[in-house]
Amino acid sequence: MNPSIQQLLELYLQPAPVPPGMTSRDMVLKAIKFVHPPRIPYSFISPVESDFFEVAAIPQFMHLVEPDGKAANIWVSAGKKGAKDPGDRYHDEWGVGWEVTGRHWDHAFDHPLRDLRNLDSYRFPDVADPEKYDMLKPFLEMGRKAGKYTVGFDPILMFERMRALLGFEELMVSPYTQPRGLELLLDRLADLESAVIEQWARIGGVDAYMTWDDWGLQTSLQMDPDTFRKFYKPRYKRIVEAAHQHGMHYIWHNCGHIIDMIPDMIDIGVDVVQLDQPRLMGHRNLADKFGGGICFWNTVDIQWSTMENPTEEEIGAEVAEMIAAFDRFGGGFMARQYPDPTDIEMSPERHEMIYQAFLAHGCSLSE
């Protein structure tokens, strides 16, 4: 193993404080199952301290250290390798054209399934290629040996993938203009998601399958809830059930104002909802409506904490209020720092304030 990767892993896998006889994995399981964890489980990156081992970090580590190595060849789109500067363009393995922005997300400009009549001739990439997952197996073994709760990642992201394949405008009108094609594509993507879950199960050691599918805008969902329930909910249910059949929890990162779909998420069996903007919906409001029914894994609201320039005292009060709202169900709450602070222009000093606030209000064993 590359020494630089080894150093990154040793940093990531260093133990978090736990009671004697327990592991970080035990802490997370207790929180998800509402069985009174001794402290709130957490995932911090500044400083690095976590009860979780999120496998999505591994291809990023390897690409960072060895941009021309095996991980880059397997997990990074061949087209993107030569597109590094803002304004550069490339096509990924899905046939989607992207323009480099210089930030975490590039901008899609070419959508191969804008017309869903092209679905019959469209070639899907082999996202469940066993080689992709075999190379991650040793890292999962390290995470499990370190006592971490291991999180496999979703390389498809069904709703995000739909937006890239169709384009946003066509995605919004397709339930009315191309409903049959939309359903066929969603079924195909759900099949691929299930195949990916089978690969994670095959290599073993995965506690959860995590997706990053953002459905919310600032004040509402991106589409009518009934449209979500008709077209998308049945497919998500299949994916969640596939994860459960293989002994995995299903974790859904979901940004924006998504309160109208949380009952549906609970209904299909989602175990954990990971929120970066919980303040949009109100901590107490979310906890009163859904506490005890689903586990929340929250950051301090990334809009409020970056745009409002809160003081250390205000951050402490925000964290105290959030934990007071959620941490009253015998579990069901976990803490998180936003994993890419540079992408949201958060200063290291504020990131440190958030870390200290969480430790002071429930994430420390001394509480």
Binned at pLDDT 50, 70 and 90, residue 222 comes out as very high
pTM of the entire structure?
0.95
From the list 110, 94, 208, 217, the residue with the least C-alpha distance to 161 is 94
pLDDT value of position 148: 99
Are 276 and 257 in contact by the 8 Å Cβ rule? The answer is no
What does DSSP assign to residue 250?
E
pLDDT value of position 367: 45
pLDDT value of position 342: 83
- Percentage helix, strand, coil, to 5, in the chain? 50, 15, 35
**What would the pLDDT profile of 13-67 be if each residue is shown by its tens digit?**
999 999 999 999 999 999 999 999 999 999 999 899 999 999 998 887 776 666 6
pLDDT value of position 168: 96
pLDDT value of position 326: 97
**What would the pLDDT profile of 172-206 be if each residue is shown by its tens digit?**
999 999 999 999 999 999 999 999 999 999 999 99
Binned at pLDDT 50, 70 and 90, residue 71 comes out as low
**What would the pLDDT profile of 99-148 be if each residue is shown by its tens digit?**
999 877 899 999 999 999 999 999 999 999 999 999 999 999 999 999 99
What does DSSP assign to residue 15?
P
Segment 318-338 mean pLDDT: 97
pLDDT value of position 2: 65
Stronger pLDDT, 267 or 69, i.e. the higher one: 267
From the list 110, 122, 95, the residue with the least C-alpha distance to 185 is 122
Domain boundaries, the chain: 7-51+276-280+289-367
Tell me the β-bridge partners of 245: none
In angstroms, the Cα distances linking 340 to 110, 299, 302, 343 are 27, 12, 11, 6
pLDDT value of position 77: 67
| Coil vs helix vs strand at 357 | helix
Helix (H) or strand (E) holding 49: strand 48-50
> How high is the mean pLDDT of the chain?
93
Kindly report the backbone phi and psi dihedral angles of residue 37, in degrees, each rounded to the nearest multiple of 5, phi listed first: -65, 145
Q: Say which amino acid occupies 93.
A: E
Stronger pLDDT, 358 or 343, i.e. the higher one: 358
Stronger pLDDT, 32 or 341, i.e. the higher one: 32
The CA distance from 51 to 32, in Å, is 13
**What would the pLDDT profile of 224-254 be if each residue is shown by its tens digit?**
999 999 999 999 999 999 999 999 999 999 9
Segment 303-320 mean pLDDT: 94
